[in-house]
Amino acid sequence: MGFYTGLRYHPEDLRRAFFEARFARVLDALGYARLMHWRILGNEALAKRDVALWLGSDALTLEYAGETLSRYEVEYLPGSPRAAGKLKEVRCLELLKTAHSLPQLRLFGLEEALGADGWLKALKLDEYAPRRSRQPQALQEALFPYASALP
């Protein structure tokens, strides 16, 4: 099989290549990214930085500069196409240790103090409320009546 030569790809690169969607987001001041009515924890030390969210059929991965920050397990609403982006549930699989750390140390560890289930890593947000059309309350009267405009 000497003729069988080819490029070998890393399994992580193959998995990323076949993901359904990639989203670019900016982390908020607490290190969360917003995606499809969910707030998803990335990394607190990377606040206000651009991150990539890779959404697949059963997983969501958050990355910064090619480095994976966290992985989540996702579940779609029954009957909704994945392209519509109706996520039923997002559960944290793992928060990875990275070289990015906060300059200020914490007074206590959140993971130790609250436990794995006490610290909210994915928050479901309310749906957007439809805007009401703005109609004037009453008709505005003419500023200068026509009769007083004539001499």
Alpha helices by DSSP H, the chain? 11-17, 110-114, 146-149
Nearest partner of 125 among 37, 30, 35, 40, judged by Cα: 37
Nearest partner of 71 among 8, 11, 12, 9, judged by Cα: 12
* Predicted confidence (pLDDT) per residue in 48-68, tens digit: 999 999 888 888 889 998 888
Cα distance between residue 142 and residue 140, in whole Å? 6
Is the pLDDT at 115 greater than 60, yes or no? no
Going from the C-alpha of 117 to that of each of 17, 92, 110, 112, 132, the distances in angstroms are 32, 10, 11, 11, 39
For residue 16, give the 3-state DSSP assignment. Answer: helix
Supply the pTM of this predicted model. 0.64
Pairing type for strands 122-124 and 38-41 reads: antiparallel
* Predicted confidence (pLDDT) per residue in 66-114, tens digit: 888 889 998 888 766 554 568 888 887 777 778 777 777 666 665 565 5
Nearest partner of 51 among 42, 40, 59, judged by Cα: 42
pLDDT of residue 25: 93
Going from the C-alpha of 143 to that of each of 110, 139, 151, the distances in angstroms are 63, 12, 17
